[in-house]
């Protein structure tokens, strides 16, 4: 190969048609939920599936993901980020299909007006997410029904949801996606509850508080909770401006 010319082979490229599926996550009552709908047509009729659309000509993937949420659930302005492109040959019994998966995060109070959470009778619902794998190992996820049993998922959507959970877990610590799941003002307890629901484990209250307050990402609103039966907590909001990232120390001389 040495010295060969290496032409870029995308010189003659076909028009592509792709689908986009969205894993919309929200935390309701301290539990992680995912938007899904029962399929009305074959294949996998009656199984639960993620909202998805076929990519329209000239449409960006990001736009298609937003369109899927707006068309299916009436949601606009939701945080959306690309997750992974799934292309396993047997993933669709009708033939080879490739889907670009996105994940979205939305505050519970912004979606509960549009849908009934966990309503097993409805054909579009937020269903509790259950992952079997511990830690960071990854794997497929299940969506539960009212009785706590796993709903049967269509296609490879169990894998897609599982990867979305894994991705969000990984980004929770070093990004600000956690705030997408909360209203504009929130007490620290709710922020911790969101983190615990996503991570699937309890967090230390003291160090969580310390870490969050030290991150510089929170600003006191001056407001406090209302109508509590206990001491009302300070409400915080997300600080849009990111503080300077702490550069890791390296070989500094001791004073």
Partner DNA sequence: TGAATAGTGTCTATAAGACAATATCCC
Partner DNA sequence: GGGATATTGTCTTATAGACACTATTCA
Of 176-215, binders to DNA (CB under 7 A) are 187-189, 203-211, 214
Residue 60 interacts with which of DNA, a copy of itself, none, CB < 5 to 8 Å by class: a copy of itself
**Could you tell me if 100 and 22 are in contact, meaning their C-beta atoms sit under 8 angstroms apart?**
no
**Is 16 or 240 the residue whose CB approaches a copy of itself more closely?**
16
The SS3 assignment for 115 reads: coil
Shortest reach from residue 63's CB to DNA, in Å? 38
Is residue 251 a contact residue for DNA (CB under 7 A)? yes
**Is 47 or 209 the residue whose CB approaches DNA more closely?**
209
Instruction: With CB under 7 A as the rule, give the number of residues binding DNA.
Output: 29
Phi and psi angles of residue 77, each rounded to the nearest 5 degrees, phi first: 70, 20
Is residue 248 a contact residue for DNA (CB under 7 A)? yes
Among 131, 212, 115, smallest CA distance to 165 is for 131
**Is 19 or 176 the residue whose CB approaches DNA more closely?**
176
Shortest reach from residue 222's CB to DNA, in Å? 11
Among 227, 235, 225, smallest CA distance to 188 is for 235
Neighbours of 238 (CB within 10 A): 16
Shortest reach from residue 52's CB to a copy of itself, in Å? 6
Residue 147 interacts with which of a copy of itself, DNA, none, CB < 5 to 8 Å by class: none
Cα separation of 177 and 47, whole Å?
30
Output the DSSP codes for 23-42. Answer: EEEEEETTEEEEEEEE--SS
**Is 135 or 222 the residue whose CB approaches a copy of itself more closely?**
135
Residue 37 interacts with which of a copy of itself, DNA, none, CB < 5 to 8 Å by class: a copy of itself
Phi and psi angles of residue 127, each rounded to the nearest 5 degrees, phi first: -115, 140
Is residue 230 a contact residue for DNA (CB under 7 A)? yes
Cβ partners under 8 Å of residue 57, min gap 6? 15
Of 32-91, binders to DNA (CB under 7 A) are none
Burial 146-178 (b: 16+ CB within 10 A, else e): eeeeebebbbbbbbbbbbbbbbbbeeeeeeebb
Residue 97 interacts with which of DNA, a copy of itself, none, CB < 5 to 8 Å by class: a copy of itself
- Which residues sit at the interface with DNA, rule CB under 7 A? 187-189, 203-211, 214, 224, 228-234, 246, 248-254
């Amino acid at each position: 190969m040495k010295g060969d010319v290496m032409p870029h082979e995308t010189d003659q490229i076909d028009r592509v048609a792709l689908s986009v599926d969205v894993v919309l996550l929200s935390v309701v009552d301290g539990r992680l939920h995912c938007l899904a709908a029962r399929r009305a047509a074959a294949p996998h009729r009656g199984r639960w599936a993620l909202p998805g659309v076929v990519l329209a000509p000239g449409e960006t993937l990001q736009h298609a993901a937003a369109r899927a949420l707006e068309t299916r659930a009436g949601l606009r302005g939701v945080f959306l980020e690309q997750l992974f492109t799934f292309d396993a040959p047997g993933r669709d019994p009708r033939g080879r299909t490739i889907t670009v998966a996105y994940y979205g995060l939305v505050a519970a109070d912004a979606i509960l007006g549009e849908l009934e959470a966990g309503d097993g009778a409805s054909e579009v619902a937020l269903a509790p997410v259950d992952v079997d794998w511990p830690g960071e190992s990854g794997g497929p996820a299940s969506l539960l029904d009212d009785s706590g049993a796993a709903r049967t998922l269509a296609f490879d959507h169990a894998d897609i949801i599982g990867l979305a959970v894994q991705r969000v877990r990984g980004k929770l610590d070093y990004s600000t996606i956690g705030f997408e799941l909360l209203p504009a003002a929130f007490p620290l307890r709710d922020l911790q509850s969101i983190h615990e629901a996503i991570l699937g484990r309890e967090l230390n209250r003291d160090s969580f508080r310390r870490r969050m307050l030290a991150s510089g990402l929170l600003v006191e609103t001056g407001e406090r909770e209302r109508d509590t039966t206990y001491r009302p907590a300070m409400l915080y909001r997300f600080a849009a401006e990111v503080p300077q990232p702490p550069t890791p120390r390296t070989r500094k001389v001791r004073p």
